[in-house]
Amino acid sequence: MDKARRTFLKIAGASVVAGMAAPAVVKLTATPALASGHAAPAAHAPAADAHGGGHAEEAPTGVRLGMVIDTRKLSAKDGLLDEAIAACVAAHNIPQFPEKKGEIKWIWKAPFENVFTDHSVHHGSKKVTGEDFPVLCNHCDDPPCCKACPTQATFKVEASGIVAMDFHRCIGCRFCMAACPYGARSFNWQDPRPYVKSFNPEFPTRMKGVVEKCNFCGERLALGQEPACVEACKGTGAIVFGDLNDPKSEIRAVLDKEFTIQRKPTLGTKPSVFYIV
Amino acid sequence: MYNKGTIIPGLIIFIALVTFPVWFNGMTTAGDLPKPDLPPNGEKQCVMPVDYMRANHMQLLNEWRDNVLRDGNREILEIGGKKYPKGLQMACMECHSNKEKFCDSCHTYAAVDPYCWDCHLTPADVKSKEATH
């Protein structure tokens, strides 16, 4: 064997071994266990706690508006739900199309099996099988619609927890409608104006090509009023509205006392609308 | 000059065509500066001086929009003792109630077509479908 070739093969072999070993060595020496630096152990402690804490939720911060719908009280009075829906329709210039296709929904009625898909209706009570339940945007704590929106036309208002819409920015791509697991969003397939029964001068209509949904009456809250549906049920206690993060609020008192359910809790969106069935 | 008979009429036609915008605007009302109607309710004061509003009302409206919708700042402005909730329908059109004679007069002149009224309602729109209850 040629001497030069022999040297070349030796060097090449050594280089390959060194090249493979080097990253491992660097990785080993860079870990805090082996590093000679003074990596503060305190910095790692909270992270370890969080993992050890299992399913504990983060401590709530700020205002998070929510709603408890007491369907017992709601169905106790005939037509109360219809009144609440009518109040919303009037307040937000919601069009009423003659056909169901393409309808615009902010708060609407649906049967139990469609509302609570996680619950079985097998041998369900008369209430569960026979009655309609009110549904609206859940104003999720972790809203999937906002993640889907490419223009940030829908976003979470940090000050109130409301999932809001900025119709000016909506480009009508309908990603949010695909993302929302509750079907709480509607698309304007046509100009809604001719189908609005009466105009509320304080609120705009929408135009063809934008998505809309319940806004928890952000414009009314700013004036110190309750949401339209809550106001329509005033005195009955059928819908309780308030700050879920305030332990002294009326809504928390109801939540502490009653057994409530949420829509599709398994999805992890953390809905802010609770139901008493 | 050769071909006097065709060149001179040709020149006259050419000049007439080139100066068309000038004399057309002079002869018709198309070129007159727009005179937007002052508020029918006699209001003399706005949220900002006239000069500012004339030049920058669109920026102000965008600012209000972002304040209200995105920043949650729906603070009601109080200027000269009058309250203005931030909003095209709630503040501007309370005084400038005639869109055709106010907004449109300049927008048409400037050939701009803002989409405000695709959604926002003019007082005339509201009147066309007044709440019956």
| CATH number of A174's domain | 3.30.70.20
Mean pLDDT of A122-138: 92
Same domain flag for A102 and A143: yes
* pLDDT score of B28 more than 90: no
Residue of chain B nearest A162, judged by CA positions: B72
Q: How far is CA A246 from CA A151, A252, B77, in A?
A: 32, 7, 30
Whether residue A103 sits in one domain with residue A224:
yes
Region A141-151 average pLDDT: 96
pLDDT in the model for residue A259:
96
Tokens representing residue B41 in the block: 């309710």
Say what the pLDDT of residue B25 is. Answer: 82
Per the prediction, chain B carries an average pLDDT of 90
How far apart CA A47 and CA B2 sit, in angstroms, is: 98
Give domain status of residue A117, yes or no.
Answer: yes
Main-chain phi, psi angles of B36, to 5 degrees: -65, 140
User: Does some domain include residue A60?
Assistant: no
pLDDT for B11 beyond 70: yes
Cα gap B123→B92, rounded to integer Å: 11
**Nearest chain B CA: its distance from A193 CA (Å):** 9
Interface with A, mutate which of B118, B120, B126, B132 (most A CBs under 10 A): B118
Strands A163-165 and A154-156 come out as antiparallel
Contact A198 B130 (CB under 8 A): yes
Give the pLDDT band (50/70/90) at residue A32.
Answer: low
Ranking A105-109, A273-277, B75-79 by mean pLDDT, the lowest is: B75-79
Query: What is the pLDDT, as a whole number, of residue A62?
Result: 86
With a cut of 90, say whether residue B31 has pLDDT above it.
no
Within A31-92, residue ranges assigned H as helices are 41-52, 71-76, 80-91
Judge whether A267 lies within some domain. Answer: yes
Instruction: Tokens for A156, please give them.
Output: 């979470």
Q: Which two tokens stand for residue A38?
A: 């003074």
Between CA B123 and CA B104 the distance in angstroms is 14
| Beta carbons of A160 and B72 less than 8 angstroms apart | yes
The model's pLDDT over B55-94, given as tens digits with 9 standing for 90+, comes to: 999 999 999 999 999 988 888 999 888 899 999 999 999 9
When pLDDT is averaged across residues A200-219 and rounded to a whole number, the result is 95
pLDDT at B22: 87
Q: Which residues of B touch A160 (CB under 8 A)?
A: 72
Does the structure show a pLDDT above 50 at A49? Answer: no
Q: Is residue A111 part of a domain?
A: yes
**What's the domain range around A219?**
65-276
Let me know whether A40 and A133 are in one domain. no
Tell me the pLDDT band of B132, cut-offs 50, 70 and 90.
Answer: low
Half-sphere exposure of B126 (CA within 13 A, CB side): 17
More confident call, B35 vs A189: A189
Residues B46, B50, B54, B55, CA torsion sign = negative
A234 shares its domain with A166: yes
Question: For residues B26 and A265, what is the distance between their CA atoms, to the nearest angstrom?
Answer: 71
Interchain CB contact of B90 with A (< 8 Å): yes
Distance CA A48, CA A32 (A): 15
B130 contacts A199? CB cut-off 8 A: yes
To test the contact with chain A by mutation, choose from B119, B125, B128, B130 the residue with the greatest count of A C-beta atoms within 10 A, namely B119
CA separation (Å) from B105 to A68, B30, B31, B52, B61? 50, 11, 12, 18, 18
Averaged confidence pLDDT in chain A: 89
Residue A225 to residues A133, A229, A231, B65, Cα–Cα distance (Å): 24, 11, 8, 21
CB contact under 8 A, A197 and B129: yes
Regarding whether A111 and A39 lie in a shared domain, the answer is no
**Same domain, yes or no, for A82 and A216?**
yes
**pLDDT at residue A33, rounded to an integer:** 55
Average pLDDT, integer, range A154-161: 93
Is residue A57 in some structural domain? no
Look up residue A245 and give its two tokens.
Answer: 């993060």
B113: contact with A, CB 8 A cutoff: no
Domain membership flag for residue A59? no
SS3 state at A240? strand
State mean pLDDT over A235-260: 95
**A40 lies in the same domain as A103:** no
Distance from the Cα of A89 to chain B's closest Cα (Å) equals 12
**Confidence (pLDDT) at A27:** 83
pLDDT at B133: 47
Residues in a beta bridge with B77: B84
Q: Using CA atoms, how far apart are residues B117 and A207, in angstroms rounded to an integer?
A: 9
Please tell me whether residues A146 and A211 are part of one structural domain: yes
Q: Which residue has the higher pLDDT, A99 or B25?
A: A99
Using the Cβ of B67 and the Cβ atoms of chain A, whether some distance falls under 8 Å is answered with no
- CB-CB contact of A28 with A34 (8 Å): yes
Structural domain count of chain A: 2
For residue A40, give the DSSP letter: -
Task: Quote the longest CA-to-CA distance of chain A.
Answer: 103
Question: Distance from A139 to chain B by nearest Cα, in Å?
Answer: 16
Q: Say if residue A52's pLDDT is above 50.
A: no
pLDDT at B48 over 60: yes
pLDDT of residue A277: 92
* Residue of A96, A146, A202 best to disrupt the B interface, most CBs of B under 10 A: A202
How far away is chain B from the Cα of A173, in angstroms, using its nearest Cα?
A: 18
A185 alpha-carbon distance from chain centroid = 12
- Which of A90-99, A110-119, A194-203, B24-33 bottoms out in mean pLDDT, i.e. has the lowest? B24-33
CB-neighbour burial class of residue B91 (10 A; exposed 0-12, middle 13-18, buried 19+): buried
On the question of pLDDT at A113 being above 50, the answer is yes
- Residue B88 is given by DSSP the state I
Instruction: Give the pLDDT band (50/70/90) at residue B120.
Output: very high
Q: Is B2 on the interface with A (CB under 8 A)?
A: no
* Percent of chain B scoring above 90 in pLDDT: 63
Q: Please judge whether A204 and B89 are an interchain contact, meaning their C-beta atoms are less than 8 angstroms apart.
A: yes
pLDDT higher than 70, residue A36? no
**What pLDDT was estimated at residue A37?**
47
Of A239, A251, A242, whose CA–CA distance to A72 is shortest? A239
**A203/B contact by beta carbon, under 8 A:** yes
- Tell me what pLDDT residue A244 has: 95
Minimal CA separation from B117 to chain A, in Å: 9
Claim to verify: residue A20 and residue A137 sit in the same structural domain? no
Asked whether residue A219 falls in the same domain as residue A140, the answer is yes
Does the beta carbon of A172 lie under 8 angstroms from any beta carbon of chain B? no
Q: What is the pLDDT of residue A56?
A: 55
Residues of chain A contacting residue B120, judged by C-beta atoms under 8 Å apart: 204
Answer yes or no: is A58 within a domain.
no
Can you list the pairs that B92-96 forms with residues at least 24 positions away whose Cβ atoms lie under 8 Å? B92/B61, B93/B120, B93/B122, B93/B123, B95/B39, B95/B41, B95/B43, B95/B46, B96/B39
- In which region does residue A209 sit, left (phi positive, over 0), alpha (psi from -120 to 50) or beta (all else)? left
What integer is the mean pLDDT of A121-141?
A: 92
Minimum mean pLDDT range among A9-13, A31-35, A239-243, B121-125:
A31-35
How far is the alpha carbon of A149 from chain B, nearest alpha carbon, in Å?
15
Clarify whether residues A165 and A245 are in a common domain: yes
Banded pLDDT at B118 (limits 50, 70, 90): very high
A10, A34: one domain? yes
